[in-house]
Amino acid sequence: MAVGRRCFMITVSGALACVVLIAITQISYAQQVPGVIGSVYPTQLMPGQSTSVHVALARNNPVRSIEITPSTGVTVSDLKSRDLNQGSVWWEFTVAVAKDAAPGPRTLVAVQQNGRTAPVQLLIPDHVPNVSNLRVVSAQASQPMVDLQLTATNQGGTFGGTPKVWFLLACGPGQPEAGIVRGKFDNGTIRASIPNPRTLQEHAGAPATGNHCDLQLRATDASGIDSNVLTTTFDFK
C-alpha cells in the first residue's frame, strides 16, 4: 500500500518525537490502479468491540458491500461514504467482533459496482490493550499542537515508555488528518501532542480550519498490537 508521509520533529512531554502525518488517500495510486484499496485504517479489530474502519477508493465505482473472511464472529454494518473531492472516496463502516472470535489474520474485500477489490489484511489480536478517559488538555487555535491525555492498561502486554499514538482528526470542511505521534507512558497514563491542522505546512490538500473537531485515537503496544479506538469532540479556543 502506498502511503504519503511527512515528518516533523517536536517535543512531546519532554522527549523529542517525530510526528508522521499520513495522507488518508494516495490519490494517484487509487486512480491508476482500479480495484485496489488505497488505504485502510485501522487494520486491527478488537474482540468484543465495534470498530469504525475506513478505506479509500477511486471515485465513480461505488462500494456495494464489504466482505471480511473468515466471517465467523464478524459483522459489518453502517456503510457510508465521504467524497474527498480529489479523485477518491473515503468509505466508512462498522465492524463488530464477537468476544470469542478466533484471533489471527482476516482479509477484507470491497465489492464495488464494477467488480471486487484486491484483498487487504486485517488482524484480530490475541490480547487487547485498552485505553479510556481521553481528555483534551489544551487546544489553542494559535498553538501548533493539541495536548492529550488518556488512561492505558494492557493485560498480557506492555506499552513501553513511548508508545505510538494514532489519530484521525477532522475539523470541519477540508481534508482530515491521519497520523502517528510518540506519546509518553507513565503510571497508567499516556500523554501525547498532535498537530493543529491549520498550522501545517506543505499540506497535500485543503487543510481543515474549523474550530469544532472530531477526534479518533488509539495506541499501539510494544508488540505492535493496537488498542481500542477512543472518540471525542473538542473546540479550538
The reported pLDDT for the residue numbered 231 is 95
CATH architecture of structural domain 43-124: Sandwich (2.60)
Q: What percent of the chain has pLDDT over 90?
A: 54
Confidence of residue 4 (pLDDT cuts 50, 70, 90): very low
Q: Rounded to the nearest 10 degrees, how much is the dihedral formed by the CA atoms of 61, 65, 70, 73? A: 150
Pairing status of strand 104-112 against strand 63-69: antiparallel
Q: Which residues pair with 198 in a beta bridge?
A: none
The reported pLDDT for the residue numbered 174 is 72
Domain 5-24+127-235: CATH superfamily is Immunoglobulins (2.60.40.10)
What is the chain's percent helix, strand, coil content, to nearest 5? Answer: 5, 55, 40
Q: What is the pTM of this model?
A: 0.63
Q: Which residues pair with 189 in a beta bridge?
A: 151, 186
Domains 5-24+127-235 and 43-124 fall in the same CATH topology: yes
The region, left, alpha or beta by phi > 0 then psi within -120 to 50, assigned to residue 38 is: alpha
Domain spans in the chain, listed from the N-terminal domain onward: 5-24+127-235, 43-124
